[in-house]
Amino acid sequence: MLLLGTLLHVKQISRSPLEVAIAMVVPIVQATLAVYLFRSGGEQHRLIEAAVGAGLMGVWSSVLFGSGGAIQNQRWQGTLEMIMLAPRRPMLVILPITVATGLTGAYSLLATLTWGRLLYGIRLDFAHPAAFVVAAVVCVLALGMFGLLLASTFVLMRNANALTNALEYPIWLVSGMLVPITVLPAWTGPIAAVLPTTWGARALREATTGGPVWPSIGICLAISLGCLILGGFAMTYVERRARAAATLALA
Amino acid sequence: MTVGGVIAYRALFNWTRPSIFIGTLLVGPLFQLLFFAYLGRQLQVADDRFYIVGNAVLSATLACVFGGTLAVGNERRYGTLGHVLLSPRSRTALFLGRALPYAGNGLLIAAFTLSASALMLGLRIPLSALPGLMLAMATGSLACSFFGLTLGALGLRLRDVWVISNVAVALLMLLTGVNVPKAGLPGWMVAIGNYLPITHAAEAARRFAAGSDFATAAPELAREALIGLGYAVLAAALLKIFELESRRTASLETL
């Protein structure tokens, strides 16, 4: 059911020009910006990091806006009630949507790497190519699970856009997707440490430039599983609360 | 009229609660600025002043570009475009007038972003520079609103104008020289940027922030105003052409 649901939503999202544009064109523009910034700063040897970082930023945008839109879209289509009335747990219906947003977000990573290779001649010399593939897959799945936790909070919110629009740059920044977290204020450290995006970004960076990839992948996966469990509980809680208050369609 | 205008503005902008406004239009642009300021610090491309002032002017784009697009797009989406076009008033004046509250909104956001980021990152701006900075941000916001309205006009013909506005906002970050100094960009990107809103307003704002007098920043301000005027004329022309075409082919509400 999870697999079929994920496949269905990947196909559905992939047919939306807006989703595809956001997943591919916007990250390419951001990657171009990053490349010129890195060049201006005399860091030509780090261009592959710019491409990978910009791609990961696109994955996060896709999950963030996709998870926010997942509930809102069901609400607008009038199908949210049916999902909540189904004999299956709501989590099993919503999780494929959030994982699908992560998978379609992976278009960003592919787009920025292809763009970097073709237009700027960036050599895709990954320090650990196999680990990079594993890290990318884990990262996409992890963000999908994180998306479930976000989506559960959106059941209660009439306008999830407020949260989604406000969360894009902070997570890019704090997770060290392009800006190393060492240059950020110290108080951001504990926040970064509990975000799966931080460890996912770190795993991809280590697979690209060298470093202990597997511990980062493991931590990323562990935090994401925590998000999945929390998201499951949160989804059940907010569903019951919305039913009791009769605000599911209005929340 | 005022109450009706405020309600219509809030509804067309899709924010009915303050939390939406704060989250989308204040927190988002502020973190965008912080992102580039920290990236710039790490890469040592330019100093904090470059990023804070430039990105503060750029922060108006979110409200102005999407606002301009929404001004036309949401009328169509909510099925009220026909009523607007049936109005005996001049539609050109009506739609161009829509750009004004978005420009005001953009100025408010830019002023907030500049103040908050200067406090957070410890940038000192001389008091004497504030009037000039406000003028630069206002000119940039107005030009950007007309640019948004031009994109919104395309919404009369295109099924999904949001793709264009999303890509346009991302391109403004790259081409206006707000985040990468012009010397670091290829010539063709700089050339395109010269015909986009924000480019000259950001340059003028940087000159004011650096302590330059009005005469030094005036040429950049004039260029920005001229570009804004150009987009206003273009938006009016496109709206007129697409309106006539939609009436002729009876495709006004066809999505």
- Looking at residue B3, its pLDDT comes to 64
pLDDT higher than 60, residue A132: yes
Distance from CA of B36 to the nearest CA of A (A): 9
What value, to the nearest 5°, has the Cα angle with vertex A121 and ends A115 and A122? Answer: 80
Confidence of residue B8 (pLDDT cuts 50, 70, 90): low
Question: Which residue in chain B is spatially nearest to A39 when comparing CA positions?
Answer: B184
Q: What is the mean pLDDT of chain B?
A: 87
Provide the 8-state DSSP code for A12. H
Q: Where does residue B160 fall: left (phi above 0), alpha (psi -120 to 50 degrees), or beta otherwise?
A: beta
**Structure confidence by residue, pLDDT tens digits, B206-216:** 999 999 999 99
Q: Which stretch of A7-16, A120-129, B28-37, B164-173 has the lowest confidence by average pLDDT?
A: A7-16
Q: What pLDDT is stored for residue A164 in this prediction?
A: 80
**pLDDT of A21 strictly over 80:** no
Cβ contacts of A22 on chain B, cutoff 8 Å: 166
Q: What is the pLDDT of residue B252?
A: 67
A interface test, pick of B21, B38, B151 with most A CB neighbours within 10 Å: B38
> Would the pLDDT of B121 be above 80?
yes
Residue with more model confidence, B158 or B121: B121
Could you tell me if A119 lies within 8 Å of chain B, comparing CB atoms? no
Q: Tell me, what's the pLDDT at B255?
A: 53
pLDDT digits (tens, 9 = 90+) for A24-50: 888 999 999 999 999 998 888 889 999
Q: How confident is the model at residue A37, as a pLDDT?
A: 92
Which of A170-174, B146-150, B164-168 is least confident? B164-168
Q: Which of B97 and A218 is assigned the larger pLDDT?
A: A218
**Residue B70 C-beta-side C-alpha neighbours within 13 Å:** 18
- Give the residue-averaged pLDDT of B83-103: 82
Q: What is the pLDDT of residue B83?
A: 81
Predicted confidence (pLDDT) per residue in B16-52, tens digit: 667 778 877 889 899 999 999 999 999 989 999 999 9
- Inter-chain CB proximity B39 and A179 less than 8 Å: yes
Yes or no, beta carbons of A159 and B17 under 8 Å apart: yes
Q: What is the mean pLDDT of residues A58-66?
A: 89
From residue A93, give the alpha-carbon distance in Å to each of A98, A158, B242.
Answer: 10, 20, 43
Residues in A touching B166 (Cβ below 8 Å) = 18, 21-22, 26
Contact with chain B for residue A157, Cβ under 8 A: no
The per-residue pLDDT for A72 is 75
B28 contacts A33? CB cut-off 8 A: no
- Cβ–Cβ under 8 Å, residues A185 and A170: no
According to the per-residue pLDDT averaged within each range, which of A77-86, A97-106, B6-15 is highest? A97-106
Does residue A120 contact residue A47 with C-beta atoms inside 8 Å? yes
pLDDT in the model for residue B242? 85
Nearest to A165 among B28, B171, B174 (CB): B28
* Whether residue B1 has pLDDT greater than 60: no
Cβ B155 vs Cβ B142: under 8 Å: no
DSSP assignment letter at B88: S
Interface test with A, best of B15, B30, B39 (most A CBs within 10 A): B39
Q: Which residue has the tokens 């920025």?
A: A112
**Residue A84 in this model has a pLDDT that exceeds 60:** yes
Q: What is the mean pLDDT of residues B205-231?
A: 95
Using the Cβ of A40 and the Cβ atoms of chain B, whether some distance falls under 8 Å is answered with yes
Task: Provide ipTM, 2 decimals.
Answer: 0.88
User: Taking residues A129-141, what's their average pLDDT?
Assistant: 94
| Bigger pLDDT: B162 vs A57 | A57
Is-contact B102 B145, C-beta < 8 A? yes
Helix/strand/coil percentages in chain B, nearest 5 = 80, 0, 20
Q: Is B43 within 8 Å of A37 when comparing Cβ atoms?
A: yes
Q: What local confidence, expressed as pLDDT, does residue B67 receive?
A: 86
- A203 vs B243: CA distance, rounded Å: 53
**Which residues in B have their CB inside 8 Å of a CB on A?**
14-17, 19-20, 22-24, 27-28, 31-32, 34-35, 38-45, 160, 162-163, 166-167, 170-171, 173-174, 179-181, 183-185
Supply the pLDDT for residue B23: 79
Q: Span A62-75, mean pLDDT?
A: 81
A contacts of B20 (beta carbons < 8 Å):
159, 161-162
**What per-residue string of b and e applies to B226-240 under the rule 16 or more CB within 10 Å gives b?**
ebbebbbeebbebbe
| Chain A residues with CB-CB distance to B117 below 8 A | none
Checking if the pLDDT of A153 tops 80, the result is no
Residues on chain A touching B77 (C-beta within 8 angstroms): none
d(CA B172, CA B196): 8
B156 exposure class (CB count in 10 Å sphere: 0-12, 13-18, 19+): buried
Q: Which of A44, A29, A195 is nearest to A115 (CA)?
A: A29
* pLDDT at residue number B200: 97
Dist. CA B129–CA B131, nearest whole Å: 6
User: Would an 8 Å CB–CB cutoff place A184 in contact with chain B?
Assistant: yes
Beta-carbon separation of B32 and A169 below 8 A: yes
